[in-house]
Amino acid sequence: MEAVDTPNFAYRLRRDAGGFVSRVWQHRLVRWLVYLAVLGVIALIALWFFVAKDLPDANALNEYEPPLPTIVRDVNGEPFHSYARERRVQLQYADFPPLLVRAYLAAEDRTFFQHGGLDYPGIASAMIDNISSSGRSRGASTITQQVAKIILLTNEYSYSRKLKEAILAFRMEDVLTKQQILELYLNEIYLGRNAYGVQAAAQAYFGKDIDQLALSEIAYLAILPKGPANYRPENNEQRAIQRRNWALGEMRENGWISDAQLQSARAMPLGTIQRQGSQFASRGGYFVEEVRRRLIDRFGETAESGPYSVYAGGLWVRSSYNPQYQAWTTAALRDGLIRYNGGKGWKDNIGNIELDEGDWARQLASTGKSTDYKDWRVGVYLGGNEIGFSDGMRAPLLGVPAAMKPGMLTAAAPSGSNWAVRSVPEVGGGMVVEQPTTGRILAMQGGFDNRLSSFNRATQAMRQPGSTIKPFVYAAAIDQGMTPATMIVDGTFCVYQSAALGNKCFRNFGGAGGSGAHTMRWGLEQSRNLMTVRAANDTGMTHVVKTIKTMGIGDYKPYLSFALGAGDTTVERMVNAFSMLVNHGRKLDPTVIDFAQDRAGQVIWPKNWKACRGCNTDDWNGGPMPRFRPDGKQLMDPVTAYQVVHMLEGVVQRGTATVLRDLDRPMFGKTGTTTGPTNVWFIGGSPDLVAGVYMGYDKPRSLGGYAQGGRLAAPIFKQFAKQAFEDVPARPFTAPDGVRLVRIDRRSGRRVYGAWPQGGPLDAVIWEAFKPETEPKRTIRTEEIAARSERQKRRQASTTRAKAAPVEGASGTQRDNDFIAAEGGIY
């Protein structure tokens, strides 16, 4: 056998193979195909590196939660306000009417259910148009691409963004169903008038929900995604109608409506309503602002603050807002401010605009100044006895004061065919209504109108409380061993301050001197400063200020002036402190929010909140009724708290708040007037409601010598109370365990045997509340009481005759002073 030359054979194989590759490579087509393949790989790498690498994950859309406004409900569960910077309402796909879905498909993406994310015929058509056009290029975005742009990308106009859209569209079609993509689109698309999503747009343009829209209205909404500004009804109505009719034609071409529907819808006018604000009426301005402030403190304001932010978290907030109480509170405070302002001159206290800058109506609207008091409106004085309003209307103005200059804003009210100047009170005030067993604030008014001044005087104004602090001074005294029957001297009281300052001598209100020894009860009812200071001094101011701090009123130094209300506090704090007295000294946190839920309905605050199962059952099953354990830390001896409330009932019956006596129900309260007088107060209520009000200038100055809490503040409370208590059964204040009710002589504080209270406000014998073993040991005989009552009747008859027949040369002021002296001082 002949041997084989192996190396030469291998060389020939390699040479033949190399020749084959060389011959193939010599073909131009092969080389171009290879070049294209290499370029394609490079392009894919570049596309990934420069475009696709940093694209957001389409899977995130499964967890996507759009920014939604916070909705606030009132005490009855009815929505009454929203915190929103954008109109948004999120619906599920099943909530969208089929005809509405088809309208958007006809106008935006008729092959949506057939393509995989891109519309290739549309892209080819757009490319041809863009090559032949020198203007802005036309796009061919599908609904999927639009969702990618809205949620995952920006509005940047560039080819790179279009590439990103295309890539994300493919990815989205892999992770979401067509229905999920449409749901995102119909909830997120911007449609003008600050409306995002079709439900918000339906309300913005037609004041309807989407299931109430007519075909012509649906078609109009369907043309808006391409450019809402192009079809604004205010200035492009005909263009909008033409485009709407085009959308209707597209629907007919796809067989989604009949010829009759087409013709009927095309014949309809546009039918849009005037642009308007929130769907909720403007109510409870100061209250809802306080809710907003507390929500922001807890959850943050924007989406960057967390998932439960006020303007993006979609919270559902149950508040304690009582719309009836709020209306009564607002009216009572406003009427009180108007009464005080009556007869005072017009004040330039709303604002000004520059008429020289032109377009005064726009300037006026931009100030946001308005009011809903009666039929008043805020306008700008144009000069020449003419007023202008934010809607451009001009009208003759009556009663123009000399101080009013063109450009000044003023309130005005209709007067026949003209308008008349009205004065917004310069004096301010605040009022709070609270439930004394829970701390829930049911109503809050922080001034005349929050549209004129956003400063909330109920929670932000730090004012001296005056004599409304005295119940807590006496509470400290009771805790240190005194009783409501303890005799305290109403006489001159001086304290040594320092070598430089010397003695400080206290006086009663109006400079009145003392009137001898009286019971603590009498001192509180008549609001005697000298008795209060003496009780505080005997108790020790360290104990007094500790009690005041414990009750949440303020943190003061142990100076005697604080026993007369020299420290600063707010209406909210004072009302809550009085509520804790009614609550037997248990701690209350004043709240405006009952609970907050996330967008899925889960309660997120308070953390220990639990639903009361079966609390609203229609039928009682005969079992034991639920008994709720008292909540809150015990801040004050419950008996002490009740003793103070019991004394404060006397303030209404025969003290400084007798203006409330004809309400004819168990009620307690305390008036207050600060030096100047700069502030007047009243705080009080019933076992069911506690309310407080103060009145004073924002920059404190005298209200006038006649100003007292009983004259100005108590009537404001009374106006509210007459309405709030109209259908509420009268209920007495409940006494806690350990209270001993004993009959005493009201004047001397001595114990009485053989006589009984008759139920009148001026009875000589009354029931007084004591702690065990603190009842008075001294007694008074019934004959002494009868004799003193007879003397009191003769004195009152003499005073009445003196009033009816004035003595020649005697002034009215002197007669008033004689009466006050006889009664021991009125405050």
Instruction: Tell me the catalytic residues.
Output: 108, 467
Is residue 663 within 8 Å of residue 656, measured between CB atoms? no
DSSP string, 587-653: ----BSEEEEE-TTS-EEESTT----TTTT-SS--SSPPP-PPP-S-B-S-HHHHHHHHHHHHHHHH
- The neighbour count for residue 822, using CB atoms within 10 Å, is 14
Beta strand spans in 165-308 (E):
195-196
Question: What are the b/e assignments for 19-42, b being 16+ CB within 10 Å?
Answer: eeeeeeeeeeeeeeeeeeeeeeee
DSSP at 190: B
Alpha-carbon Rg for the chain, nearest whole angstrom, is 39
**What are 320's two structure tokens?**
């304690």
Beta-strand ranges (E) seen in 714-776 are 740-745, 751-752, 765-770
Residues 223 and 243 sit within 8 Å (Cβ to Cβ): yes
Beta bridge partners of 361: none
Q: How far apart are CA 282 and CA 450, in angstroms?
A: 11
**Which residues are bridge partners to 71 per DSSP?**
82, 316
State the first-to-last Cα distance of the chain, in angstroms, to the nearest integer: 143
Contact 494, 504 (CB under 8 A): yes
Separation between Cα atoms, residue 497 and residue 490, nearest integer Å: 21
Report whether 402 contacts 346 (CB < 8 A): no
Task: Spell out the residues 6+ positions from residue 325 whose beta carbon is closer than 8 angstroms to its own.
Answer: 433, 442, 443, 720, 724
Q: How far is CA 193 from CA 17, 198, 201, 304, in A?
A: 74, 12, 8, 25
Q: How many residues does the chain have?
A: 827
What six digits make up the tokens of 575? 């009302």
Give the integer Cα–Cα distance in Å for 147 and 179: 13
CB 827 within 8 A of CB 528: yes
- Cα distances from 363 to residues 235, 379, 413, 787, in angstroms, run 21, 11, 21, 74
Run of H or E including 396:
strand 394-398
Angle at 520 between CA 516 and CA 522, to 5 degrees: 70
In angstroms, the Cα distances linking 812 to 30, 293, 537, 685, 819 are 122, 51, 37, 34, 11
Beta strands in 751-827 (DSSP E): 751-752, 765-770, 779-780
- Tokens read off for 673: 């007037």
Question: Could you tell me the two tokens for 255?
Answer: 């067989």
Closest C-alpha to 687, from 769, 547, 586, 584: 584
Q: Contact, 441 vs 590, CB < 8 A? A: yes
Between CA 530 and CA 535 the distance in angstroms is 9
Enter the tokens of residue 73.
């409900």
Nearest alpha-carbon partner for 91 in 206, 217, 182, 177 = 182
Query: Beta-carbon neighbour count of residue 600 at 10 Å?
Result: 9
The helix-helix angle for 237-253 and 215-222 (nearest 10°) equals 100
3-state secondary structure at position 436: coil
* Residue 807 · residue 777 · CB < 8 Å: no
How far is residue 440's CA from residue 434's CA, in Å, rounded to a whole number?
Answer: 6
